[in-house]
Structure 1
Amino acid sequence: MRLNHLDFHVPDIAGTADFFIRHFGLKLKDMRSNNGLAILEDDAGLEIVLSHAIAKFGTADQVEIGRQTYHIGFILPKRADVDTVHAGLVAAGAVLSGPPAAMRGGWLFYCTAPGNILVEVGWRPG
């Protein structure tokens, strides 16, 4: 069994999609209606769906509730890649936890993507 997709409720689908495309190399697979739903895909086939909050799932996103209730993580093949992604996010004015640091046996940092999504970016020795 493999994980197929994750669906994140965000207020600005296009802005959040652009952030993940520019900084994390995801590809836009589908954009439905005008800012209605985006499907992004990584190079392994995992899809990240960006949609608006809907009533049957609680009607609120992390921006509305003002908290980060989960995080997602990207693992990179080289420690230097973490520094490169961090530098790109700094240049773009992203919200960052600080510079990359040694944590839990790896090299990582956190940033906040549009939609108040906490993102971990790291490398771990093989």
Structure 2
Amino acid sequence: MRLNHLDFYVPDIAATADFFLRYFGLELREMNERIGRAILHDDQGTEIVLSRPLPKFGGADQVELRWQTYHIGFVLAERSDVDQLHIRLAADDAAVSGPPAAIRGGWLFYCTAPGNLLVEVGWRPSS
């Protein structure tokens, strides 16, 4: 079994899509402002869908809730890749939690993407 997609409600689809395209190398497969959806892919085929909040499914995003109720994580190939991405994000005044640190056997930091999405960025040594 393989995870197919994750769908996140965000108030500004274009800003959130741009963040993931710019910093995480995702590919834009579809942008449909009319219906309020963007579909991004990673290099493993997993989709990240960014949608306008739908009332029939609760209708709130994390900005409206003012709370981060979940997070997503990216694993990078090298520890130095984590450091380099942190430098890029910090230089662009992105909301980063602090410098990378040794946490749970890996090297990681957190940042917040537009839409109040908490993102974990890390590296773990191969077993």
TM-score normalised per structure 1: 0.97
Identical-pair percentage: 69
Cα separation, 1, equivalents of 2:11 and 2:123: 30
CA gap of 1:35–1:95, structure 2 versus 1, over 3 A, is farther
**What whole-Å deviation, never above 9, does each CA across 1:5-53 have from its counterpart, x for those lacking one?**
0000000000000000000000100011358210000000000000011
2:119 corresponding residue in structure 1: 119
Contact 1:12–1:35 under 8 Å retained in 2: no
1:37-48 pair list within 5 angstroms: 37-48=37-48
1:47-62 pair list within 5 angstroms: 47-62=47-62
Structure 2 regions of 5+ residues with no counterpart?
Answer: none
Contact 1:82–1:123 under 8 Å retained in 2: yes
Question: How well do the aligned residues superpose, as a CA RMSD in angstroms?
Answer: 1.0
Structure 1 segments of 4+ aligned residues over 2 angstroms from their partners? none
Structure 1 regions of 5+ residues with no counterpart?
Answer: none
Paired AA for residue 63 in structure 2: V
Contact 1:37–1:52 under 8 Å retained in 2: yes
TM-score normalised per structure 2: 0.97
Moved more, 33-42 or 53-62: 33-42
**What whole-Å deviation, never above 9, does each CA across 1:45-87 have from its counterpart, x for those lacking one?**
0000000110111010000000000000000110000001101
Paired AA for residue 84 in structure 1: Q
2:20 corresponding residue in structure 1: 20
Cα separation, 1, equivalents of 2:48 and 2:122: 19
2:83 corresponding residue in structure 1: 83
1:60-75 pair list within 5 angstroms: 60-75=60-75
